[in-house]
Amino acid sequence: MNLILLALGGSIGAISRYLLGLAIMKRFPSPPFPIAMLIVNLLGAGGLGGFFGIYYKSIPLAAYEDPLYLTIGIGFFGAFTTFSTFSVEAVQLYNKKKWAKLGTYVFVSIVGSIICFLIGFKLGKLIV
């Protein structure tokens, strides 16, 4: 049953990432750096933080057997956000020697994701 929940959340997360990425790329066809995945990853980090804040009120160390965490935390948000695409896009900027854009993209992606997670977590704790 756990694998089914994981697959369900993951498929919805992957489809959501794809559709949102397309919508962002359509809205911003020539961004200065890979903005679609940046936005998706920041939203995903904030969403996962919100989930932890609402559901757990803490950051549990052992939630891997919790069906809701499997579905939403690992499945949905694991598939919605993408470190692999971030890595590809960072290497593309590196290969093009776009140092300032690379630095900005990496910094905002990593630090921004942590900040978004914390904001989501704190707001989630306030909701319920």
124 is in an annotated binding site: no
Q: Where would I find the H helices in 28-98?
A: 35-55, 67-68, 77-80, 83-95
* Cβ within 8 Å of residue 119, ≥6 positions away: 46, 49
Type of residue numbered 61? L
81 is in an annotated binding site: yes
Binding-site positions for Na(+): 78, 81
Binding-site positions: 78, 81
